[in-house]
Chain A
């Protein structure tokens, strides 16, 4: 329901995982197989020689340090920035407005209904039920339009299909009030409160 970039997550995690796998394998081989150690020393010495030559050729005119260090600082800052941006993408997608439409009436202007209307109405309707240990309602923006996410935590032994039908009846009543059918996700889950709370025996 939220806007977590799932494919990007998979790709970036996969790249990091593959790199760690390669480095780990190399370290284990270096520790156990002597031939790998000789190959590694020869190969990496060649690479380091090339890098050293590059640093020598890029010194500041008249100075001793290479300006490649500055480039590296900029590159590292760039990577950090990209990582922070990636972090900020996780779990985003909360919205404030449930409806924002041009009213077709004679009065000029827009009609806006905040997500809090639906959230509080549904929460109040679900609050007093004895078969629920908790309920939360949140507005998200999914595929460019607002959608409601209703998470209910039933007590043990509550039949989920009956609960879903009752919540969905509430949602239909809300549709009538708001005058628009919003996409709704009902998540019937379990948490610590439903797990350790008393079971509902009588209804």
Chain B
């Protein structure tokens, strides 16, 4: 879930480079070639590096469960030695839960339920979704190489900017798993051909030898920039 809506911008000020990680399209394991040494071991490393470890969600879950257990432990221990309860006696708590729709305002009950539902959805989707990271594997004879999509986007944006002869602010590149989207705003009065930009970006991508290899789409904005 955390990867689904994640959006990286190459630069806060200028939209030259941006990369999105989407997990909508594509199937099969992310492990590709690009592992010269160690074969199977490096393939496993690459497969692990291109998917999320879910460590943050695991830490949140463990801390939640520990907190809950510590509180229950406190009340139970207090009860076991026959002392008065701290917040609520386990028996009283159980009786309140049984009588549930009564005793609590329905709005509060519904909102609590909705919050728990949302938290459950977060954990459940984290566990079930493939959890791909916005990364590509790069072929290399010696080492296993993974590249963040953001870095690819920024390199492609530089190449597209040189090919189109525009400034940094006029190019925005979005890299996802199977697609590279190049948005160019031409300078007003200077003709610009999309095929030139496309060819330049494509040759750069071919040099990178990514896996999976994304397709290139170039969008020329219909309105130009004045005085760039």
Q: Which residues of A contact B107 (CB under 8 A)?
A: 31
> Are B146 and A187 within 8 A (Cβ)?
yes
Q: Which residues of A contact B95 (CB under 8 A)?
A: 48
Interface residues of chain A: helix, strand, loop or mixed (majority): helix
* A27 touches which of B9, B48, B113 (Cβ 8 Å): B113
- Listed stretches B68-76, B192-200, B214-222; interface member: B68-76
A199 to B147, CA, bound (A): 18
Contact with B along A1-40 (1 / 0, CB 8 A): 1101010011111101111111111111111101001001
Closest to A80 in B: B69
> Are B117 and A69 within 8 A (Cβ)?
no
> Are A80 and B124 within 8 A (Cβ)?
no
B203 → chain A closest CB, angstroms: 12
Interface residues of chain B: helix, strand, loop or mixed (majority): helix
A193 → chain B closest CB, angstroms: 12
> Are A41 and B158 within 8 A (Cβ)?
no
> Are A9 and B58 within 8 A (Cβ)?
yes
A135 close to B (CB within 8 Å): no
Contact with A along B143-161 (1 / 0, CB 8 A): 1111110111011011000
- Listed stretches A95-103, A107-115, A153-161; interface member: A153-161
A190 close to B (CB within 8 Å): yes
Closest to B71 in A: A76
A129 close to B (CB within 8 Å): no
A172 close to B (CB within 8 Å): yes
Q: Which residues of B contact A157 (CB under 8 A)?
A: 17, 154-155, 157-158
The tally of CB-CB contacts under 8 A between chains A and B is 268
A56 close to B (CB within 8 Å): no
> Are A183 and B45 within 8 A (Cβ)?
yes
> Are B140 and A168 within 8 A (Cβ)?
yes
A90 to B59, CA, bound (A): 8
> Are A156 and B16 within 8 A (Cβ)?
yes
| Chain B contacts with A in 107-142, Cβ cutoff 8 A | 107, 109-110, 112-128, 138, 140-142
A54 close to B (CB within 8 Å): no
Closest to B111 in A: A31
* B53 touches which of A6, A14, A84 (Cβ 8 Å): A6
> Are A185 and B144 within 8 A (Cβ)?
yes
* A23 touches which of B11, B80, B116, B152 (Cβ 8 Å): B116
> Are B141 and A16 within 8 A (Cβ)?
no
> Are A187 and B49 within 8 A (Cβ)?
yes
Q: Which residues of B contact A188 (CB under 8 A)?
A: 138, 145-148, 151
* A161 touches which of B11, B64, B208 (Cβ 8 Å): B208
A10 to B116, CA, bound (A): 19
Contact with B along A154-198 (1 / 0, CB 8 A): 101111110011011001100000000101111111100011100
Sort A-B residue pairs by CB-CB distance and give the 5 closest, nearest first. Answer: A27-B113, A20-B120, A24-B117, A17-B123, A17-B124
